[in-house]
Amino acid sequence: MSATRIVLLGPPGAGKGTQAAILVGELGIPHVSTGDMLRAAVKAKTPVGLRAKAVMDAGELVSDDIVIGIAEERLSEKDAQAGFLLDGFPRTLAQAEALEGLLAKLDQALDCCLALVVDNEAVVRRLLGRAEIEGRADDNESTIRERMRVYDAETAPLIEFYRSRDRLVEVSGMGNIEEVGKRVRQALDA
Ligand code: AP5
């Protein structure tokens, strides 16, 4: 696989975190998940965590200034200079523009945006399944549906953003984890 600077895009429950965990092991690049970083901040009750908690619990987006700040800080670290896999960032056009600006400043460029395409009802079932095991505060049916509405309104436009820049690779996220992983690898090899 030649791509080392990758954005993983897809609705809640599409399998971004699952595929990212597999890919970063194979590619030797850091997994940068803004959702994981924000949940860690909430748990640690940092100022960012205290501001983000209610927004996340409601399934809304944390403000661009906060998220762009934590993403920029993470991508400026030494281990991200040779590549990274972004999971859950960018999620708005403002975040996508900020990422382009940051990479230009670092003299880097994104290799691709890998978008997982899924059936909404199937991923609601996946997330309700995870709720039973992990009990994430935003994994209840009404919040899952709100997260999907927010995805359609705020994040789905990034598909065209990356398509127009010739960076978009779309892969079906349906089927089991191994089947999706195989498709992801093929798409990154192509
Ligand atoms: P975030 O943590 O990014 O959540 P999300 O996008 O809703 O994604 P999920 O983690 O729910 O799903 P996923 O696609 O990673 O799927 P996963 O692999 O886990 O964000 C949470 C919140 O933080 C946001 O709502 C927002 O408030 C805030 N936030 C984060 N980033 C932000 C940003 N940039 N700007 C503003 N706010 C931000 O899989 C889900 C389940 O399905 C798992 O149980 C898994 O085992 C299972 N599964 C995975 N693949 C398969 C498969 N192929 N078949 C069957 N089951 C599968």
Pocket of ligand 1 (CB under 6 A): 10, 12-18, 34-35, 38, 55-56, 59-62, 67, 88-89, 91, 95, 126-127, 129-130, 138, 147, 176-177, 180
Contact 100, 5 (CB under 8 A): no
The predicted-structure confidence for 52-82, as pLDDT tens digits, reads as follows: 999 999 999 999 999 999 999 999 999 999 9
Q: Are strands 5-9 and 112-117 parallel, antiparallel or unpaired?
A: parallel
Mean pLDDT, to the nearest integer, of 78-105? 97
Place of tokens 């999907």: 148
Q: Give residue 102's pLDDT.
A: 96
Q: How far is CA 8 from CA 5, 131, 177, in A?
A: 10, 22, 15
Mean pLDDT, to the nearest integer, of 22-29? 94
Query: Using omega within 30 degrees of 0 as the cis cutoff, is the peptide bond preceding 90 cis?
Result: yes
Q: Mean pLDDT across the chain, nearest whole number? A: 96
Q: Give residue 73's pLDDT.
A: 96
3-state secondary structure of 12: coil
Give pTM, 2 decimals. Answer: 0.96
Tokens of 58: 């409601």
Calpha distance 89→155 (Å, rounded): 10
Mean pLDDT, to the nearest integer, of 166-174? 98
Q: Give residue 104's pLDDT.
A: 96
pLDDT band at 1 (very low <50, low <70, confident <90, very high): low
Residue 170 pairs in a beta bridge with 115
For 163, the enclosing helix (H) or strand (E) is helix 157-163
Catalytic sites, residue numbers: 16, 91, 130, 136, 147
pLDDT band at 190 (very low <50, low <70, confident <90, very high): confident
For 113, the enclosing helix (H) or strand (E) is strand 112-117
Q: Give residue 60's pLDDT.
A: 98
Calpha distance 54→90 (Å, rounded): 20
| Cα end-to-end span (Å), the chain | 8
Residue type, position 94, single letter? A
pLDDT of residue 2 exceeding 70? no
Contact 93, 161 (CB under 8 A): yes
